[in-house]
Structure 1
Amino acid sequence: MDKSLLASILTFAAYFVVMVGIGLWVYKRTVSLSDFVLGGRRLNSWVAGLSANASDFSGWLLLGLPGAIYLSGLGEAWIAVGLALGFAGSWIVIAGRLRVYTERATDARSGGESDSLTLSSYLENRFSDRTGLLRGVSAVLILAFYLFYVASGLVAMGGLFEQVFGMSSAVAIIAGVSIVVFYTFLGGFLAVSYTDVVQAVMMWVALLIVPIVAVVAIMGDEGRDIGGISAVLGGFEGQGSLDIGGVLAPVVVISGLAWGIGYLGQPHILARFMGIRSVKDVPRAGAVSVAWAVSAMTLAVVMGFAGVAFFGFEEGLENSENVFPSLIQALMNPWVAGLLLAAILAAVMSTADSQLLVASSALTEDGYRAFLKRDASPLTLVWVSRGAVVAVAVAAAGIALSGNNTVMDLVGYAWAGFGAGFGPVILLSLYWKRMTWTGALAGMVGGGATAVIWDVLDEKVLETGLYAMVPAVVVSLVGIFVFNGLGRATDAMGEDFDRVDTEYREAKKPVSA
């Protein structure tokens, strides 16, 4: 057997053993739906921060972004800038208030503090909606968009296994999703969060090492033509046509920066805010998380540049999203390469598991428990959630196996759907006292529907090239303000808002000596 293949097999196997071991470790600690969905709200700042990173920056970071830079130039880096700003903003304006509000809002159905475990249940309780519409519609949006999001991870996983082991992408998708489902099935939120910490460290180390080694190799090769680097920095079309103006084109800049808005509405990231131990842990968690994110995206952009310089414009790569694994295989010792390739697998799995968990929570908490059996026992709900994890994984695998969509396309579609469908609604729900359930419903439906329709409309009719997030967020905001007056902000909702605001402000005060 080839030494490189053997090294990859053994390192991947060791990685799988560690992930499953963590799942088994927390299995007995998962005894209620709160444990399975939010880990009992006991994440410390380091685990919450790094888990937010790992659950967010999937194969997109290690495959999609370097591949986009390699294929289209520096203009794609605006996405990284937008994401950095949006990620920092979400920790500042969303995390602390959402942590308090999801626990303190009055239960719309039974009264008393709700301890909302999902975004859908939070929205129902925040707006005292007894119709079930907010909860039902938001759960449907979560399930629909997560099927595409999880599918993007499986596509990335299939591409990685195909390149490393030579197996078909279909077999790779089935094998990979089986491992993810197994440890998520066992340990739920705690298993996902603890594995995320390991995966975040692996991803960052790989992003640091490979670009450095690549740049050293490029600069040390006197015969290598590195003139392409200037083209990348200026922006190019295809693989080499210089287009400086393209980098600063308004549509390119606006579309790239708009990705940052998505952070306000991503359920798998917001779940980390909801599961953190207390508001006092938020600043440190945010600092850890944002520092990791900014440095990791910067290194991923450098990776794309290095790929252009190393592989060149003329021959290039058949698949631009293979820049990272191709550099690893070309430059590294087989055993080191195996570890670094496992980091790419970690990036994919760390997001897929979080998304599976949130989607299964929507089925269990916002479907089965809310509409079918509200008095189900804690253990029954845990097992229903485990079954839901399997069901969502099978459906997402079906999408991944059915077409040849790129990682970037699938992520962009789901990211816009969540960002526009939930982002404006969540943000305003935390800061606007008089917001009502009708405004929230209109914002969700309008934003989510526009995100779905825009790509087709723009491709067939408008031809603007504008990312769907921009028009979808505009439609969501208009819907919220136009339809808000059709509902009523009750006195109880106002009291909840004041109570949450007071608790949040008190928690932020420094402890006196």
Structure 2
Amino acid sequence: MTNGIIVTCLLVSLLLVAWSAWHGYRKSVTSADYIVAGRSMPWWIVGGSLLASSTSGATFFGMVGDYNRMGFFTHWVILGIASSWIVICFLVGPRLRRFGGFTIPEYLAQRFDSPLLRPVFALITIAWMTILMATVVVQGGLIFHALWGWPYELSVSLMIIVICVYTITGGQTSVMYTDFVQLIIFVGAAVVLVPITINAAGGLGHVTASAEAMQPGFFTPTGGVMTGVSAMALFFIWFLGYLGHPGLLTRFYTVKSERDLYKTGVVLTLVYLPFLGSMSLVGASLRVMYPDAQDTEILWIRFAVEHAPALIVGILVATLAAAVLSTADTWLLTAASSVTHDVARHFRKTDFTDDQLKRWTRWSVAFLALACLPIALNRPAYIIEMMTIAYSIAGASGGIVIIMSLYWRRMTKAGAWSGLIFGATTAVLGRVMIATSDLPDWFDPILPTLVVTVLIVVAVSLSTKSSAEADRVFGTLLRKKPTGTHESSTGSGR
């Protein structure tokens, strides 16, 4: 009976996803419908979609597991993301909406009058987004592996198929409406499950006392296991990583108006911190109940199966599946759109028709889904650790270049290229050094990387000249309304 209830909840969730995908398929008449939802999304849908995508299965698996091991040190991830939402919604989003394109590489290429910047930035983004997509597939595989004991490899492969079919069918319209529904599901599940978990561990007082006894400093900013420098590095990795994440930034191309972006920012800020903060108490509770657990990322499923009613377990499983899909579809569609719009279009001698754009994007979804499969099958690190690697590259390259390009007119093409190449290369080398050498615990190479990247962009820009076209595009970012001169359909903007 228990399995029947769980399966029923999961099927209901998947049926909602299937309906949304079909609804999105019917609405995706043009490539603009498929990629940017016809630029007609209301603010509450955009906000819900962004929140669902940034919460994801990583919250229920990775974040809970990280709190279990690292204590409140993990709070710096949440604070970095929350801070980035404020900057994105109030400072970045409105200017990107005025630009009115399809992808972030397209914006950078026109902003600096450098067509080659488009495919190069796209390829760097696709590389680190493949790592992110692999973490999502890992989350999906863990659901069925932990719940029913299915072989992990089979669980991962099945999740790849579901994600791929769903994203190919629906496009951006489907992604955003389904994300909103999925957000309601997993916020509701968290409201029910968080107090159940804390009570099962003996209550809040017992949890805090026990976790502190097991790991002194558990509830301090460093968790008792890291340093202040490490905390600062983690904050900036996620703060700048989100600023450089096209999967999030391109959502602002879909919104109806700039004014709606400010409403989105207020909602994200008010909802995100308390929701994600509650995961810290779940991680502490599970640390108390399962002190010797080897795999901390599946503990919440294990707890639910052992302590919660079957209906609650079913809701949790449906929640996890919804959270995984809400993130996977976003990142996969963004990366696939970049393959088509920013890489293939640059090297193709003739332009795409609208039908060809949609078809190539769908084939790119399938290709990228397969590309992340080997990483997911090997599961080289904990989920949050894998995501931190990806966001290190995103922040050091894209995050710095994007925010400076939106607000510093004097930034030049040479400055953008130098920041992109140095930031991405040094971030990768820094992660390799951490994995292969004995760096001190207090030192993270990302901090000097970020500082030097900014200095390089400034120095190179001040020593080179900006083009008239770059100045003109910067001017469009300051205007109240889109100029209508940028790519909005199929043939322009090569």
Q: Which moved more, 1:399-408 or 1:429-438?
A: 399-408
Which residue is equivalent to 2:312? 336
Asked if the contact 1:448–1:472 (Cα under 8 Å) also holds between the matched residues in 2, the reply is no
Asked whether the 8 Å contact 1:255–1:470 carries over to 2, the reply is yes
Picking from 9, 12, 16, the partner of 2:10 is: 12
Give the residue type in structure 2 aligned to 1:230.
E
CA distance in 2, matches of 1:245, 1:306: 15
Q: 2-side partners of 1:229 and 1:484: how far apart?
A: 50
1:16-415 equivalences in 2 (<5 Å): 16-101=14-99, 103=100, 116-129=101-114, 132-219=115-202, 227-231=209-213, 234-236=216-218, 246=224, 249-258=227-236, 259-311=238-290, 313=291, 316-415=292-391
- Residue-by-residue CA offset, 1:447-477 (whole Å, 9 max, x unaligned): 1112211022244153345445423322321
Cα distance, 1:265 vs. partner?
0.6
Whole-Å Cα distance in 2 between the matches of residues 60 and 410 of structure 1? 11
**Letter matched to residue 121 of structure 1:** E
Q: Distance in 2 between matches of 1:245 and 1:179?
A: 37
Q: Deviations over 1:476-503 (max 9, x none)?
A: 2133123225653223332332343131
Q: 1:245 to 1:358 in 2, by over 3 A?
A: closer
Q: CA RMSD in A?
A: 2.5
Asked whether the 8 Å contact 1:55–1:196 carries over to 2, the reply is yes
Question: What letter corresponds to residue 300 of structure 2 in structure 1?
Answer: F
Instruction: Give the letter for the 1:251 counterpart.
Output: V
1:219 partner SS: coil
Q: Residues 416 and 468 of structure 1 are in contact (CA less than 8 Å); yes or no, is this contact kept in structure 2? A: no
Counterpart AA for 2:263: R
Tell me the distance in 2 between the aligned counterparts of 1:187 and 1:170: 26
CA distance in 2, matches of 1:84, 1:448: 24
Shift of 1:226: 7.0
* CA distance in structure 2 between the aligned counterparts of 1:336 and 1:404, rounded to whole angstroms: 31
Equivalence for 2:457: 480
Which one of 457, 467, 470 corresponds to residue 490 of structure 1?
467
Deviations 1:124-183 (A, max 9, x none): 111111xx3211210111111111110011111111210112101111111111111112
Q: For residues 289 and 82 of structure 1, do their structure 2 counterparts lie closer, same or farther at Cα, with a shift above 3 Å needed?
A: same
* Identical aligned residues as a percent: 26
- Kept in 1, the 8 Å contact 2:135–2:387? The answer is yes
Deviation readout 1:76-107 (Å, 9 max, x if unpaired): 22222222222222222211111112x2xxxx
Looking at structure 1, the residues matched to 422 and 431 of structure 2 have their Cα atoms a distance apart, in angstroms, of 15
- Structure 2 residue runs of 5 or longer lacking an equivalent are 483-494
Residues 221, 396 of structure 1: CA spacing in aligned structure 2 closer, same or farther, 3 A cutoff?
closer
Post-superposition CA distance 1:219-256 (Å, at most 9, x none): 3799x88742334785359xxxx998836832232123
Separation of aligned partners in 1, 2:29 and 2:68 = 47
Look up the match of 1:109: none
2:420 aligns with 444
Equivalent residue, structure 1, for 2:488: none
Identify which range, 461-470 or 255-264, moves more after superposition: 461-470
For the 8 Å contact 1:214–1:310, the answer to whether it is kept is no
- Of stretches 228-237 and 190-199 in structure 1, the one that deviates more from structure 2 is 228-237
Q: CA deviation at 1:348?
A: 1.6
Is the Cα contact below 8 Å between 1:8 and 1:337 reproduced in 2?
yes
Query: Matched residues in 1 for 2:84 and 2:314: separation?
Result: 33
Which residue, 453, 456, 472 being the options, matches 2:429? Answer: 453
Aligned equivalents of 2:207 and 2:281: distance in 1? 17
**Any conservation in 1 of the 2:98–2:476 contact (CA below 8 Å)?**
no
- Residue of structure 2 equivalent to 1:108: none
Asked if structure 1 preserves the Cα contact closer than 8 Å seen for 2:221 and 2:231, the reply is: no
Residues 185, 221 of structure 1: alpha-carbon distance in 2 compared, 3 angstrom cutoff: closer
Q: Which moved more, 1:476-485 or 1:363-372?
A: 476-485
The residue identity in structure 2 corresponding to 1:503 is K
1:455-474 superposed matches below 5 A: 455-459=431-435, 460=437, 462-467=439-444, 469-474=446-451
User: 1:8, 1:164 within 8 Å by CA — same for their partners in 2?
Assistant: no
**TM-score normalised by structure 1 residue count:** 0.88
Q: What is the distance in 2 between the residues matched to 1:451 and 1:367?
A: 23
Query: How far 1:22 moved relative to its partner?
Result: 0.7
- Deviation digits for residues 323-379 of structure 1 (CA, Å, limit 9, x no counterpart): 322232232211221111221122222111111101101110012222215521101
Q: Is the 8 A contact 1:157 1:348 kept in 2?
A: yes
CA shift in 2, pair 1:337/1:502, >3 Å: same
Taking the aligned partners of 1:268 and 1:491, their CA distance within structure 2 comes to 30
Question: Which ranges in structure 1 are unaligned for 5 or more consecutive residues?
Answer: 104-115, 506-513
Deviations, residues 295-341 of structure 1 (Å, cap 9, x unaligned): 22111111112212333x3xx32211123222322322112211112
More moved, 456-465 vs 266-275: 456-465
Give the structure 2 partner of residue 106 of structure 1: none
Instruction: Label 1:216 to 1:246 Cα distance change in 2 as closer, same or farther (>3 A).
Output: closer
Instruction: Report if aligned partners of 1:247, 1:253 keep a CA contact under 8 Å in 2.
Output: no
Listed one character per residue, the Cα deviations across residues 31-70 of structure 1 (whole Å, up to 9, x for unaligned) are 2222221112111100111111112222221111111111
Give, in whole Å, the separation in 2 of the partners of 1:252 and 1:486. Answer: 34
Instruction: State the TM-score, normalizing by the size of structure 2.
Output: 0.91
Equivalents in 2 of 1:274, 1:348: separation in Å? 23
Structure 1: how far apart are the matches of 2:172 and 2:120? 24
